[in-house]
Structure 1
């Protein structure tokens, strides 16, 4: 068989080239290289194992450190809570309530002195100070560490007196002390502030008891501070304020010499003392971070862990080296024979490179041997033969792969188009910027919102779109930090100037993008339009102080203005007047022409009163048909003149609604301050009494209050109504009226509100506002509550026993939460009549729970355990409604009628009602809308998914004899 000369040359070696190079056998290379590889593997495995063990150790230590920080935070919080609980008990100590009301520092010191020593011994309290509501110190025990404490405590006292909210400051000077600054209330009156301080030594000791770790509390010393006798860490400029019993403070002193800057301890350090390994790290305690004067240092013994890691590493190395030696011996035995076969294949491969595929296959077959089992060399022979056949088809395969690659490029193009369309339909502004802050792209929603096209903004600076004012002057610098990769994200709000010069408030989120080329986008800016949200927030804030119908101050804001005016009058010795307006026959207008006519009349009266007073006078609507005006720096004659002028303006105007003409008329009560009262309550009461005098004199007039008639008139009124109420209770002249409440979803009556009326001697049906105020002042309100509850439960039981299911909603007075007999009466009535408690829901207002919120919540929980439910009335009138919906066990909220009356015609009311509904639904509460008087309002409520509706459209209040369940009540 002919041999290729090149093949023989490859076999015999080239004397001109190959012979000049030393030959190193493959077996030697394999053995050496495999040895190196195995050594590298053993070393890598050992290193990886060591690193993994150390990482696990660091991870566990980090988790443990966070747990330590959480435990210290919890201990400090518990100390703060204990101090506030003790502060709440101080007014109830024997004699303290009277002394605090008197603001007598000497008596407070005498009364509290017996408690001081036990508090030091048992509670660890080192400082107590009492201040009055004018921030004056009344009495104190214990000495503060420095004048800084005194100045700081005075600031705390001022803040608590102003806000009437407790605080829990922490101060570290020579030592760390936790303070509790709490307002003092005695019989509902604010009498001052108490400051209580305890050191954090107990927290350190308790931490060591809980965690088992050693801990020390370090306090930094001022540069000019006198040298302390306590243990010091000189290199850190701090002293050891407290440490656990087993703590070796000398360790910290040694560590401080190695690490003079405490910042080097931020991630913890490890030190070795002989055969002992310790981990030292400061705790990141939020309260300590704010003071900057103290820190906790935790020392953990990690000797056993370090020794375990080292032993494991040594064991891995020994096993690896033994495996290396054994592997080399086996490899040498295995490689000897196969390498000779492999040498033949190597000398044959050049034929394949010259495309001598047939010669290549014949050379391989000439040395082929028949074997029972194939090995890798046999597979190499077969693979080489197969390769010779496959190389001929290589160009075809390359062409096929090229076509496949073109198809994948088409798919990528489709994905890019999808992402582009997604950005265009997203309801946010999406902008990309380059490294210079210039706009590259803008999505379709952004073009629509700011009225600029993408092409118009390309190349322009993003900052030029914004109205930079206030806190946004640093924004360009922050954006440069994102573009320069010094921060990943930036969030801010700013106003965007649109093409038509309008302003839109946008919430921006800027994110840094990964750039591969110089022309790639640097920042992705996503903006959310907050304009409507901001407008709604402003409207809600405005409603907190104003009456939505008349735009005047509401009762709360008016009383605040009156209190300020009284304080100014007392300070500067000025006099003033309060005018109390009550419209005459307003109920008649509402009954004959509907609430729409009443609302129109109230708006007209508000406008006329505003036009008839001075610019410095303050006008407000107190509720219903009641208005009031504050006249600063005026006399009785001046107040009378304003009242006459206002009444004259009212008499000149008329309003025509539903083919009826109504004329505005009012009775005015005048009270002077400080002559007739030096506080809001007394002055309003005086003006109210004077207003009733004006009504009795013939309506449409005015009356100036007189101190001589104050007691006589009040007593006459109270005695008159007290006798009427007692007579009505004795002879069952109180009547139950029922107003249906509809479930909007299925258009069926879900339950009825029970309304109370009184039958007068002349047959007149009196509304609650005639007799309820007198009942509250004479103490008969509890008897009325008990009567209503027993009567309603008895009626419900009759209906239930008749086989029907009707639920009642009953209004509870504000005094019900102070009635100890209410809960027993409810239980006894349910048991006596066999009524189902789940058929009853009780309506309460904010006023009912305002005086004692914890007591109200406790009573409501007990009533709910019986099976009853609760409704929060007048929801949305003030921001406090959102507080009570979270604090009280409420099932249903009733949206105040002032938002519902004009819902169909007022877009602002629609926004507010929708917001109130979303808030209630977010808390899992159902909603009721009152004053529903037309179909348009009902349709809007249905679209808002409000649960229940109440009002004249659904049904007016009717007596029991006219209800669908009247037959059951008779039985």
Structure 2
């Protein structure tokens, strides 16, 4: 029993020990399970942290890569910008400059694309820089820099800088100041841009805009601008000046005859001579075409300009050789004075223009000048009205031909007649026909009138032929008509139209016709003579009578002017002149006509001296067609 009891105690002890061990194992397993769970959770947390860390690293790595890429791109962009800047600077022919104001250190960097650049190596401070500026520009450059520093403004100034080849070139210096905290300019940086080519081009363009390309003298634009300056200065100084308008007579004819190259050379010749005759502060300009202007500055109020005008004319009318042809200018000059004739440009130009046309009308063939006076305005107004009336009369058929007979003095027979222009005005007002002809020449209406006279004369000759009257009619040719019309073609057309013999036509020309161009005169008159038309020199002895003309031209008749006939009975000198003309003409087998015979005594003297033909009121006044035919019947053809 004791043994059983001890066994039971041992068994109970073992059971309790086993229970404790089982509880301990359960507790250990519970603890182990708890710790495993904690470890698992920690593990999960660590995994999350690791994942977050990996994402953060990936994000940071990505951002870093982006930053690296951006930095690389920025560096490339910067290099490209610098390259572009350099290209821009080179394209603009610019270099960079930097002036440290406090230290007075002036640095220039970069180079120009042109082989000629600023002498930058010798520039170290601002004074060095200024020394490289052209002396005429230094004051402006220094003022510009001073203004920029004091007012903190951007600077821009154009100046000439000394270049590598020791020549000055135009540059544009631009810059911007940098200020400190006290707003004081401590540095100025900018660029120097080579603008020499642009300035030169602008100069060329400006010259083209203000100077005439052909003659190399100022044009109308320059003239107008200078004229305004002259007016302002003259008003301030109470000084006087003169305006001359100069027009080349018959310049179109020169172009048509010799070509535009010859005309251009004549214009250049006139411009050169005008320049040579004026002082440095006077102005010579070509206003356009064949019109020039001269302004004579600071003239005494009462100074005559006749000598100056004569010098201009003498210089300009000297013939020039163009391809073997000698061509000569003829000038009309009109003058106006400031302030006597006007105080504005428009008024002075108008007055000078009036005077110029007065000079032209008074001397159609030769050079002339005239100074404005108020009476010329009325004269011009009257001429304008008269010109309009002439045009209307030509259209309305108010012009007629009258014929004044030629009488053979030795035989007292009718030899022919001279066609003379008459105006049968509808208002019956008296007409000075010579004044009408002069105005028609001035306005060139004589071209239409002259053509009409030729055809009307041919028509009258045709009627004479139909009446079996063998009669010669003389036609006067105007100098203007002679120069500007193809007379040979006009006569040929009229002759063919009416079917008349050219031997029935005679042309009368004045000596002044030969003065401008005797070669042209010879060609035309020889062509007319070859057709069978006789040539007569009218008003012989009143102009530039010369045997040279009579020898070179196909002249058949010489006509003694009425002024010599008038004094035959009282002036011994007239007798000698008339006798000399008759003897000279006969020595060259030319006939002589005396016009203006009014007395039997004059007729007797002329017949005694051997004059061939007479004309004048002693025989008959000019007669219209019907009366002239009646005269032929009475006198015999």
TM-score scaled by length of structure 1: 0.30
Structure with greater contact order relative to length (CA < 8 Å, sep ≥ 6) = 2
Point out the structure with max Rg over C-alpha: 2
TM-score scaled by length of structure 2: 0.45
